[in-house]
Amino acid sequence: MSCCLPPPEFIEAAAGPIRRGPSDDEIRLASRDLGKGMRQIDLSVPAVHCGGCIQTIEKALNALEGVESARVNLSTKRVAIRWPEGRALPPMVETLVGLGYEPHLYETEDSQKDRTLPGLIRALAVAAFASMNIMMLSGSVWSGADGATRDILHWICAGLTLPALLYSGRVFYRSAWNAISHGRTNMDVPITIGIALAFALSLYDTIHSGQEVYYDATVSLIFFLLIGRTLDHVMRERARTAVKGLAKLAPRGALVLGDNGAPEYLPLREIMPGMTILLAAGERVPVDAVVLSGASDLDRSLISGESLPVAAEAGTRLEAGVLNLTGPLTISAEAGEQDSTLAQMVRLMEVAESGRNRYRRIADRAAELYSPIVHLAAFVAFLGWMAFNGDLHNAVTVAIAVLIITCPCALGLAVPMVQVVAARRLFDAGIMVKDGSALERLAEVDSVVFDKTGTLTLGSPQLLDLGDIAPETLAQAAALAAHSRHPYSRAITRAGAGLGAMPGFTTISELPGFGVEALLGDDRYRLGRADWALSDAEGAGGTVLSRNGMELARFAFADGLRAGAHSAVSALREAGLAVEIVSGDTSAAVADVAIELHIADSAGGVLPGGKADRIAALRVEGRKVLMVGDGLNDAPALMAAHVSMAPSSAVDVGRSAADFVFLHDDLSAVPLALAVARDAGRLVRQNFALSALYNAIALPIAIAGYVNPFIAAIAMSLSSIVVVLNALRLGWGGYRFYRWPLHQAVAVRP
């Protein structure tokens, strides 16, 4: 196939400078048709953080030729760009990169706007409107309206209740019907029965000019419970969009050489085994493949956990997702998308997930205990009053009062309110939570399993021993290294940052697999492999900077620990957790890190399936495991664990498998999340105790028949407010299990 050379302009593109951000082809694939000849792309721009960013981006993009409109959304950190179809794509990615806001594409399949939330808020608005007006009118009834005036007020209340009952209440009816049709019962069953009966009885009393009606109780029940539902939903959605906005690591497609030699950009699912793909430097391998020609270095840290880059030449096998670092490669696909490493990993994850016990949320478990008691109490009250005085109307009234007063809104708010506050605290510290059950599960954890590469360590090499290298030499090396994407070069660039003026190198070129070469005056400088850079190197290894073949400096690298790794591990141990490392890297490398962090249990050279098996073995022992990992090889283990965490640098499969994603490099996110989850669990239990106390007081009064609508409404609102206030206490006095300087966490937000 090597005879089929691509057209010249393409060779230039493939070999040219490394491009950041999605390519034009990817943008075209990901954009959607708005009709009227317009197309829109939504790009995730994580670096946007203030009003100034909005102005900069919108001004620059709107000034571009061919851009119809550009609008930044600061909450979701996205920019929506529209342009007319059929013309050349405006250089929006280049513009954004030039401004310093690197754009990413995110999943399009499920990026449709969330439809549930607006629906919930509409229902909430209607319920709020109805409940407030009814409260106002009830006020006049309570203050002594009677006769015809009271009847008219009751009729108006009935009219106002209808929209809330029919429109806002649907959320509960649907969920209750779901539970009943599956032969289960949940919290929504007594709610639905209570609402329906209360309305029916109130209507009956209104028609017969009765004294007491329960419209206000009915509607405020719907209102308060809807607040709980909405909060629950908002939290889940927010974390989901935040995680989705991170860089997508698997490419959407690849440049395929057709039979006639012309390159064509094909979406991933159309790539068949045997196709020839051109892979530019800086791109990820789309499907499992083998190298046909070219030389480069590969970063496999996210796939297999190997911390050091490996060289690629003709014949090297590549797994999907491996990052091509330095030179363009021509590769031949060996598998389609379905059979690639990535898809196999997804299957492993499904197996792992099926092994995990289904976790049932605290609120569901509470409801399971609670709703039979409520039904029984109401039924007993009804029978008791029938036996006592045989007054059907009175008995029904008491039964409804019991149903309504023992379905306290407090119980519906007890869990979501705490979890929303906890998620907010974590969000401020750069930790995203997938959903509330993750917080509950994290609070139960008793052991932690860490991946090594990319989790305990940074996953990229750091320069060692700066001491014996002169600053000017380092500055020269950094100036050369800035032209390469190789992890070693980046480490040198980082180390040399801020050392002053750049030497005036000319004719800089990178030789994939070897290093960077440049001229300074008449001297030839080389930065790269020793046997290439030095003229008299016999078998010398390592990385050097040389001038005309003479060694100037030698660089040594090691994978550095993440910031906070020491303190995080010791904090976890102090919290009473067992810590261990399971890694795919070599046993020696793993043992080094384990010794440095004083971790006794470590295992190296573990295959992806082996990691999940280790988690399963711990589970059989009765442990509840927190898995922290970032690589593709960790994904099955993340799925298998009781709860899981991943850094934001993780592969997207890992990020979507994990329950928590932390955005900062600092590993102290792990103990912080644990502390918040445990404190949140404590507050949830307190809230349950408060609601139980409320019930213990209210239930006898309701059964005795002393509850009137006024008391019901006041008690309901009060208990809800108490629960909300209790939830807001989270994190006020620091966390019980971990002292975290929260102001620092806020300060490091970008």
Active-site amino acid positions: 451
Encode burial over 509-521: b for 16+ CB neighbours within 10 A, e otherwise. Answer: ebbbbbbbbbebe
User: What spatial distance separates the first Cα and last Cα of the chain, rounded to whole Å?
Assistant: 48
| 64, 92 contact by CB (below 8 A) | yes
- Output the CA torsion sign for 635, 639, 642, 644: positive
Q: Which is nearer to another protein, 51 or 66 (CB)?
A: 51
Measured CA to CA, the distance from residue 170 to residue 120 in angstroms comes to: 10
Q: Which stretch in 75-83, 184-192, 240-248, 704-712 sits in contact with another protein by CB under 8 A? A: 75-83
Q: Which is nearer to another protein, 48 or 552 (CB)?
A: 48
Task: Compute the least distance from the CB of residue 132 to another protein, in Å.
Answer: 7
Contact characters 523-562, another protein, x per CB under 8 A: ----------------------------------------
Q: Which stretch in 122-130, 170-178, 375-383, 435-443 sits in contact with another protein by CB under 8 A? A: 122-130
Among 20, 28, 82, 623, binds another protein (CB under 8 A): 82
Spatial CB neighbours of 718, under 8 Å, sequence gap ≥ 6: none
**How many CB atoms sit inside 10 A of residue 608's CB?**
24
- E strands of 141-283, at which residues? 253-257, 263-267, 276-279
Q: Which is nearer to another protein, 129 or 265 (CB)?
A: 129
Q: Which is nearer to another protein, 125 or 748 (CB)?
A: 125
Task: Compute the least distance from the CB of residue 665 to another protein, in Å.
Answer: 24
Spatial CB neighbours of 487, under 8 Å, sequence gap ≥ 6: 299, 309, 325, 460, 461
Number of residues assigned to the chain: 750
Q: How is residue 218 written in tokens?
A: 């009915």
Q: How is residue 317 written in tokens?
A: 């096998």
**Of residues 20-59, those binding another protein (CB under 8 A):** 50-51, 54-55
Closest Cα partner for 168 from 114, 218, 236, 104? 218
Q: Which stretch in 24-32, 148-156, 481-489, 676-684 sits in contact with another protein by CB under 8 A? A: 148-156
Task: Compute the least distance from the CB of residue 304 to another protein, in Å.
Answer: 39
Among 20, 28, 71, 547, binds another protein (CB under 8 A): 71
Closest Cα partner for 650 from 308, 245, 303? 303
Would you count residue 121 as binding another protein (CB under 8 A)?
yes
Q: Which is nearer to another protein, 235 or 401 (CB)?
A: 235
| 60, 95 contact by CB (below 8 A) | yes
Q: Which stretch in 17-25, 129-137, 352-360, 597-605 sits in contact with another protein by CB under 8 A? A: 129-137
Would you count residue 74 as binding another protein (CB under 8 A)?
yes
Contact characters 562-601, another protein, x per CB under 8 A: ----------------------------------------
Q: Which is nearer to another protein, 43 or 400 (CB)?
A: 43
Among 5, 136, 351, 600, binds another protein (CB under 8 A): 136
Q: Which stretch in 71-79, 384-392, 534-542, 705-713 sits in contact with another protein by CB under 8 A? A: 71-79
Measured CA to CA, the distance from residue 648 to residue 669 in angstroms comes to: 12
Helix/strand/coil percentages in the chain, nearest 5: 50, 15, 30
- Output the CA torsion sign for 170, 173, 175, 178: negative
Among 1, 66, 69, 313, binds another protein (CB under 8 A): 69
Spatial CB neighbours of 390, under 8 Å, sequence gap ≥ 6: none
Among 73, 185, 570, 686, binds another protein (CB under 8 A): 73
Would you count residue 617 as binding another protein (CB under 8 A)?
no
Among 68, 102, 212, 665, binds another protein (CB under 8 A): 68
Measured CA to CA, the distance from residue 526 to residue 508 in angstroms comes to: 10
Task: Compute the least distance from the CB of residue 30 to another protein, in Å.
Answer: 20
Would you count residue 62 as binding another protein (CB under 8 A)?
yes
Q: Which is nearer to another protein, 59 or 365 (CB)?
A: 59
Q: Which is nearer to another protein, 140 or 338 (CB)?
A: 140
Task: Compute the least distance from the CB of residue 112 to another protein, in Å.
Answer: 14
Pairing of strands 660-662, 643-647: parallel
Task: Compute the least distance from the CB of residue 73 to another protein, in Å.
Answer: 4
Among 122, 174, 393, 729, binds another protein (CB under 8 A): 122
**Which of the 8 DSSP states describes residue 7?**
P
Measured CA to CA, the distance from residue 199 to residue 165 in angstroms comes to: 9
Spatial CB neighbours of 585, under 8 Å, sequence gap ≥ 6: 305, 306, 307, 452, 453, 604, 605
| 542, 704 contact by CB (below 8 A) | no
Task: Compute the least distance from the CB of residue 191 to another protein, in Å.
Answer: 23
Query: What are φ and ψ of residue 256, in 5° steps?
Result: -105, 135
Q: Which secondary structure element, helix H or strand E, spans residue 402, and what is its range?
A: helix 392-406
Q: In the beta sheet, which residues pair with residue 78?
A: 44, 73
Task: Compute the least distance from the CB of residue 36 to another protein, in Å.
Answer: 8
Closest Cα partner for 157 from 211, 208, 214, 198? 214
Q: How many chain residues bind another protein (CB under 8 A)?
A: 28
Q: Which is nearer to another protein, 179 or 242 (CB)?
A: 242
Q: Which is nearer to another protein, 82 or 547 (CB)?
A: 82
**Of residues 448-507, those binding another protein (CB under 8 A):** none
Single-letter residue type at 330? T
Contact characters 101-120, another protein, x per CB under 8 A: -----------------x--
Measured CA to CA, the distance from residue 281 to residue 285 in angstroms comes to: 10
Task: Compute the least distance from the CB of residue 353 to another protein, in Å.
Answer: 33
Helix, strand or coil for residue 551?
Answer: strand
What is the 3-state secondary structure of 143-157? CCCCHHHHHHHHHHH
**Of residues 159-218, those binding another protein (CB under 8 A):** 160
Measured CA to CA, the distance from residue 490 to residue 494 in angstroms comes to: 6
Among 93, 137, 363, 724, binds another protein (CB under 8 A): 137
Would you count residue 152 as binding another protein (CB under 8 A)?
yes
Would you count residue 125 as binding another protein (CB under 8 A)?
yes
Would you count residue 141 as binding another protein (CB under 8 A)?
no
Q: Which stretch in 132-140, 440-448, 644-652, 738-746 sits in contact with another protein by CB under 8 A? A: 132-140
Q: Which is nearer to another protein, 136 or 262 (CB)?
A: 136
Q: Which is nearer to another protein, 74 or 508 (CB)?
A: 74
Task: Compute the least distance from the CB of residue 124 to another protein, in Å.
Answer: 10
**Which of the 8 DSSP states describes residue 165?**
I
Q: Which is nearer to another protein, 119 or 503 (CB)?
A: 119
Closest Cα partner for 406 from 192, 691, 204? 691
CA dihedral angle for residue 90, residue 92, residue 95, residue 100, rounded to 10 degrees: -170
Single-letter residue type at 366? A
Among 9, 35, 75, 622, binds another protein (CB under 8 A): 75
Give the interface with another protein as residue ranges (CB under 8 A).
Answer: 50-51, 54-55, 62, 68-69, 71-76, 82, 118, 121-122, 125-126, 129, 132-133, 136-137, 149, 152, 156, 160
